[in-house]
Amino acid sequence: MDSRLNAEQILGLEQGDAHVIRNAGALVTDDVLRSLELSRSLGTEEVFLILHTDCAARSGDLDETVRAELASLGAGARGFVYDVHTRELREVA
């Protein structure tokens, strides 16, 4: 949801290359799952969950938060943390 994040730029995509679902705190809610289901029906092949540093909606261990939210997305989804200061994207294992 944070305006400091430009998903297309971070991922090296052009406008229209991806469906971007923004949600405060990177929470995987019913609304997110419904949007993701539609996106997948339109051909989406990869799902990335990106949480960022300095998130007003989250505190604590960002890696653990990403892992917990990924569990709701099912197999094949990948999780990342984006550092808003260094502009580095790091995959969470």
Q: Does domain 7-91 have CATH number 3.30.70.600?
A: no
Contact 70, 36 (CB under 8 A): no
Task: Tell me the domain boundaries of the chain.
Answer: 7-91
pLDDT score of 55: 78
**Spatial distance between the Cα atoms of 64 and 80, rounded to a whole number of angstroms:** 11
Q: What is the pTM of this model?
A: 0.86
pLDDT score of 48: 94
Contact 83, 63 (CB under 8 A): no
**Spatial distance between the Cα atoms of 35 and 28, rounded to a whole number of angstroms:** 11
Query: What is the band of 56 on the pLDDT scale with cuts at 50, 70, 90?
Result: confident
